[in-house]
Structure 1
Amino acid sequence: MKEWSRKVYVELPRPCEEDHRSMQKRLLAALRDCGSFYTGDSQSVFSHVVRDEADIRIRPAVLNDCLAICEQADWQVTASLGFDGRVWELLALEPGDTAAQHYGLCADLGSTTIIMELVDLNTGETLASESVFNPQIAYGDDILTRIFYTKDHPERRRELQEATAKGFRKLMVQLSKETGVDTRKCNILTVAGNTTMMHFLLGLDAFGVFQSPYAVQTLEPEVCRGAELGIPVQGFVYLCPAMENYLGGDIISGMLATGLPDREEISVFLDVGTNGELVVGNQEFLLAGAGAAGPALEGGSVRTGMRAENGAVDSVTTENGRLKAHVIGETEAKGICGSGIVDLLAELYLNGWIDLRGRFQEAEIRTEESRDEDEKEKLRIPGLKKLPMRDAASEKDMEYAIEYAQGLYFYQSDIDEFIRTKAAAMTMVEYMMNLIGLGMEDVGRFYVAGAFGTHIDKESAVTIGMYPDIDRDKIISPGNTSLQGAKKLLLDRSLTEKAEEIIERMQYVQFGAVEEFIELMRAAQAIPHTDLQRFPTVERRLLERQAAKAEK
């Protein structure tokens, strides 16, 4: 493996009349001749010889402190070195042998959340993980709003860059408090994020991500100094490269995390959020694509939708013919997040309370207006109620909504939006499989990445047609693969070459330019699909629920 960061203990000869080499020469010679690197095992060291003094650069700002540190430490010091993408650089000297305290940072820069881990580079162990909401949210909940905010305004790009850096600084402080490690002494931070997030972090104009011909500022940025970005690590920041405007470094990082490009079996990798990113392939081919999915999958655009945090309904079941909601933090329900929405729609469908189009079935539910106290306990679920539409222009603009928790309603328009969103995601998969002439039965693994995939119930997702009806063991929720890949890159610099190789192998499909995509998506705008035979296990569950209802 190749490292980004090294800590080397050296014992320097004192200057004397016979040896009056400069401090720079003295340090370079010691690093060249000694170069023992701590591996985490007190009984094991490995040697690295710097063959040319030019392999290491020492800047005057660092050199300025070296004499005082050497004299304080009796010329026994530890050198911290970082790789800037081309050569090694001496970043700092510390008194004594501190090679065992060697740490790095990795991060997933999401549009909603930034997650950072502190990693022991000697052992590969993650010491702590922290997350914060991305401060960019103050400039718009969605990425497009932020892009337009910064368009033609360099000063606003600087605002957004500083806001992003502020998020990183906050995480570093939190990690230091939790572990007692001074994160400012880290020599390397690896970051994975989508193409827009990459531009915002670098302070670049991101409008090319959105506008044809999608000629963005960069897809493979140079290694940066942390100080350039307002991130106070003493070393460098590496950003995982992107493939296209809508297929970012977070997906390439996901490829490294899952190992999909090296497998014999054909796998599908789906990252669902406001946008949907997809990779289908194996060690022989890689097809990649991206397109708009919609914020509904993350709770966005839903009237009472919210992120998966305390107060969010994250799962829904049916008990004694009524809906039962679970709330994160066991507190009073404030709204519903993506996994809760999937459960809710699955229960509504299986109980016959909505049809395959997602339309409320009044005869099955009955309305609140038609019930009385004697009938109340006979209702299968809280009654259907007519409420004003989101942008109601008059009192006549009403729509049905159903109460899924005390005082919280899910509207017909919410269902419609969610069905369109899940249809977009699954149509991407269907189109790619058609393109290679294979069916879902040919898939060995179906990865659903990200926080949404981690918390969603597989059966509910299959029921509404968001996941294919395949062996559930093939459906894998690997978690935050963007962060996992960033950690792999942190521990092994040679994976930067692997990332570039993956990008070279990928063939990219822009779903927005596919003529038949809309037609395919219409067919998927049903629960689970207009062709129920594609979902035999859902059909079976539907019949079981109907039989159970008839018995009662």
Structure 2
Amino acid sequence: MRGLSRKLYLDLSVPTEEDQRSDQQRILEALSAEGVKEEVHIPVRMLRQLYPLLDRAGWKITVSLSWNGEKWELVDIESGDTARQHYGLAVDLGSTTVVVRLLDCNSGEILGEESCFNKQIQWGTDILSRIFFCKDDRKKLEEIRLATVESIIECMDKLDVKHPVSRKCLSMVVAGNTTMIHFLLGIDAFCVFYTPHAVHADRPGFQPAKDLDIPLNGYVYCYPAKSNYLGGDIISGMIETELYKKDGISVFFDIGTNGELVIGNKDFLLCGAGAAGPALEGGVVHTGMRADAGAVDSVRIRGGKIHVHVIGNSSGKISPKGICGSGIVDLIAELFLEGWIDIRGKFSPEKTNLIQKREGQLCIEYAPGLYFYQKDIDEFILTKAAAHIMVEIMLRESGLELNQADRFYVAGSFGKYVSVESAITIGMYPDMEREKMINAGNSSLEGAQKLLLNKELLADIDQILEEMTYIQFAEVDDFLEQMVAAQALPHTDYKKYPTVMEKLKKRQNICFY
């Protein structure tokens, strides 16, 4: 491993009348002999420890090095040989969930992984609420910064239960969107949202962990952003999927509250981002919720009856509490295939007596006491339309046809759990060969891990940023026209979705041609 940190055992020669080299020089020359070719800086706090530590250790020590972006910095000295105890942390700093992974930096083995809700949520489930909460208020901004750090530390504490070494880690890599990184650094993030969208920091790079109040010996690296809405989590996804190295055309799509999209290969990279809306995480839906215990995450309609799967209900004792993003996609897809909603997403009460009227609007009871309303469908269709036109416009701007794409990566927690078939049925994903669609999982976390273990990837990150061309979706001439067309289920142009039309034909015996 040649990662962002190194840990080396040094058996130093004892000073004599004939060998009067300084302790400092003795360590630096020993490191060079061990293959450390880059410059090594020994800060004063470490120089102060050399005496009497070296004498007491019999000149047999282990030094810990952390890369600071320009050179190695000696961040710890221990007596004896502890080189095998070499650890690091990879972090996915999501707006909803924070995930921290502990790694053995000698072997690359994953020792543990923990997650928690981002403590920023107390100021709003959506990012804009948090941005406005602390706008131009240093005290409130510090509250959000500390909440961000505390979220990471909570995960570290959970890891310490089984592997009590997180405080001994030498480096941390954090991947997150532009707003999350601003909050982690204690920087006002209003610039991310407000024109001209010139953010305050897009390449913060390596920062001393102690400056961020993160209990590590070494440095924290934050993945850089390409723009205000295309952040380090996407650049990390590029490192994980290696899209920028491939010959064939790939599409990388990370859909959540925002949607980020990259199309390209080793010769070009087109990227763009736009708001998708909170519906994917259950926001704006009457009975919507995050994917916690009690959430309906899967729906099927068979024999005129609605069947649901509930998260955490393996024992059969947990009742449905609401519906999360993957469940919503399933429900709308099934309602459409059954003919209970039409191409506009409007309920057809003449098709089933399960459709009823409550609170002045049509709805359907998908689980005991839980209703999905017409307004819920309307809101979600806007979200799915936004997702669709991102792909549509990006393909057109690149001069490519969908069938020219060799791979379609779906990243993020939503992409991990949503049914591909249901997402295609409602027109959120394009109708393409299923074997080309790849679940990229948490590519943000995976990319953070890869960089932690391979310092050479820093050059690849610079290459990616240089090659990326950013497209503003809203500035495309026919954006609104495309948006309207994409609000139909699955789309106003049926020919774009042949497999969906075939499903409708089989389910309802309808022919669209």
TM-score exceeds 0.5: yes
Q: Would you say the 8 A contact 1:4–1:493 is kept in 2?
A: yes
Q: Which residue of 1 aligns with 2:502?
A: 540
- The CA distance in 1 between the partners of 2:499 and 2:40, in whole Å, is 62
Q: Which residue of 1 aligns with 2:210?
A: 227
Q: Which residue of 1 aligns with 2:358?
A: 387
- The CA distance in 2 between the partners of 1:32 and 1:350, in whole Å, is 67
2:106 matches 1:122: yes
- The CA distance in 1 between the partners of 2:332 and 2:188, in whole Å, is 40
Q: Which residue of 2 aligns with 1:10?
A: 10
SS at match of 1:489: helix
Q: Would you say the 8 A contact 1:11–1:75 is kept in 2?
A: yes
- The CA distance in 1 between the partners of 2:387 and 2:195, in whole Å, is 22
RMSD: 1.5
Q: Which residue of 1 aligns with 2:264?
A: 281
- The CA distance in 2 between the partners of 1:345 and 1:215, in whole Å, is 38
Deviations 1:317-365 (A, max 9, x none): 1233201000000121111111111110111011111111111101012
Output the TM-score relative to the length of structure 2.
Answer: 0.96
Aligned-partner residue type, residue 429 of structure 1? V
Q: Would you say the 8 A contact 2:75–2:218 is kept in 1?
A: yes
Q: Which residue of 1 aligns with 2:85?
A: 101
Identity of aligned residues (%): 53
Q: Which residue of 1 aligns with 2:235?
A: 252
| Alpha-carbon distance change, 176 to 66 in structure 1, aligned in 2, over 3 angstroms | farther
**Number of aligned pairs?**
506
Offset of 1:527 from its aligned partner? 0.9
SS at match of 1:468: coil
Aligned-partner residue type, residue 304 of structure 2? G
- The CA distance in 1 between the partners of 2:417 and 2:325, in whole Å, is 9
- Corresponding residue to 2:335 among 316, 324, 348: 348
Q: Which residue of 2 aligns with 1:372?
A: none
Q: Would you say the 8 A contact 1:11–1:77 is kept in 2?
A: yes
Q: Would you say the 8 A contact 2:326–2:417 is kept in 1?
A: yes
Offset of 1:263 from its aligned partner? 1.2
Deviations 1:408-448 (A, max 9, x none): 11111000011110001110111111122222111111111
- Corresponding residue to 1:335 among 288, 306, 322: 322
Q: Which residue of 1 aligns with 2:475?
A: 513
SS at match of 2:312: helix
Task: Choose 435-444 or 535-544, whichever is displaced more.
Answer: 435-444
2:299 matches 1:312: no
Offset of 1:89 from its aligned partner? 1.2
Deviations 1:374-431 (A, max 9, x none): xxxxxxxxx223222xxxxxxxxx1111111111111110000111100011101111
- The CA distance in 1 between the partners of 2:398 and 2:235, in whole Å, is 21
Pairs within 5 Å for 1:488-527: 488-527=450-489
- Corresponding residue to 1:270 among 245, 253, 268: 253
Gaps of 5+ in 1: 36-47, 367-382, 389-397
Q: Which residue of 2 aligns with 1:303?
A: 286
- The CA distance in 2 between the partners of 1:409 and 1:498, in whole Å, is 49
2:324 matches 1:324: no
Q: Which residue of 1 aligns with 2:185?
A: 202
Offset of 1:64 from its aligned partner? 2.4
SS at match of 2:441: coil
Offset of 1:66 from its aligned partner? 3.0
Q: Which residue of 1 aligns with 2:28?
A: 28
Q: Which residue of 2 aligns with 1:65?
A: 49
- The CA distance in 1 between the partners of 2:58 and 2:293, in whole Å, is 54
Aligned-partner residue type, residue 430 of structure 2? P
Output the TM-score relative to the length of structure 1.
Answer: 0.89
Aligned-partner residue type, residue 327 of structure 1? V
Aligned-partner residue type, residue 169 of structure 1? I
- The CA distance in 1 between the partners of 2:472 and 2:196, in whole Å, is 12
Offset of 1:512 from its aligned partner? 2.2
- The CA distance in 2 between the partners of 1:285 and 1:315, in whole Å, is 38
- Corresponding residue to 1:132 among 104, 111, 116: 116
- The CA distance in 1 between the partners of 2:157 and 2:406, in whole Å, is 42
Q: Which residue of 1 aligns with 2:161?
A: 177
Q: Would you say the 8 A contact 1:241–1:500 is kept in 2?
A: no
Aligned-partner residue type, residue 353 of structure 1? W
Offset of 1:29 from its aligned partner? 3.1
Deviations 1:480-533 (A, max 9, x none): 011111111111111111111111111111112223111101001011111222
Offset of 1:16 from its aligned partner? 4.6
2:60 matches 1:76: yes
Aligned-partner residue type, residue 210 of structure 1? F
- Corresponding residue to 1:416 among 359, 372, 378: 378
Q: Would you say the 8 A contact 2:4–2:451 is kept in 1?
A: no
- Corresponding residue to 1:440 among 402, 407, 411: 402
Aligned-partner residue type, residue 331 of structure 2? L
SS at match of 2:444: helix
2:221 matches 1:238: yes
Aligned-partner residue type, residue 508 of structure 2? Q
- The CA distance in 2 between the partners of 1:169 and 1:72, in whole Å, is 34
- Corresponding residue to 1:214 among 185, 193, 197: 197
Structure with larger Rg: 1
- The CA distance in 2 between the partners of 1:219 and 1:178, in whole Å, is 35
- The CA distance in 1 between the partners of 2:212 and 2:434, in whole Å, is 44
Task: Choose 8-17 or 318-327, whichever is displaced more.
Answer: 8-17
Aligned-partner residue type, residue 384 of structure 1? I
- Corresponding residue to 2:169 among 186, 193, 210: 186
Deviations 1:95-147 (A, max 9, x none): 21111111111111111111110111111111111111111111221111111
Offset of 1:78 from its aligned partner? 0.6
Deviations 1:159-191 (A, max 9, x none): 1111111111111111121223x1111111001
Q: Which residue of 2 aligns with 1:431?
A: 393
Q: Would you say the 8 A contact 2:296–2:322 is kept in 1?
A: yes
Q: Would you say the 8 A contact 2:90–2:449 is kept in 1?
A: yes
Aligned-partner residue type, residue 83 of structure 2? A
Offset of 1:49 from its aligned partner? 4.5
SS at match of 1:61: helix
Q: Which residue of 1 aligns with 2:423?
A: 461
Aligned-partner residue type, residue 60 of structure 2? Q
Q: Would you say the 8 A contact 2:206–2:221 is kept in 1?
A: yes
Aligned-partner residue type, residue 424 of structure 1? A
Deviations 1:294-326 (A, max 9, x none): 111121111111111111111001233201000
- Corresponding residue to 2:143 among 141, 145, 159: 159
Q: Would you say the 8 A contact 2:389–2:482 is kept in 1?
A: yes
SS at match of 1:403: strand
Deviations 1:218-276 (A, max 9, x none): 11113100000010110000011110011101111111111111111111111101111
Deviations 1:200-224 (A, max 9, x none): 1111121111111111111111310
Q: Would you say the 8 A contact 2:425–2:490 is kept in 1?
A: yes
- The CA distance in 1 between the partners of 2:475 and 2:162, in whole Å, is 48
Task: Choose 529-538 or 287-296, whichever is displaced more.
Answer: 529-538
Task: Choose 223-232 or 300-309, whichever is displaced more.
Answer: 300-309
SS at match of 2:115: strand
Q: Would you say the 8 A contact 1:399–1:411 is kept in 2?
A: yes
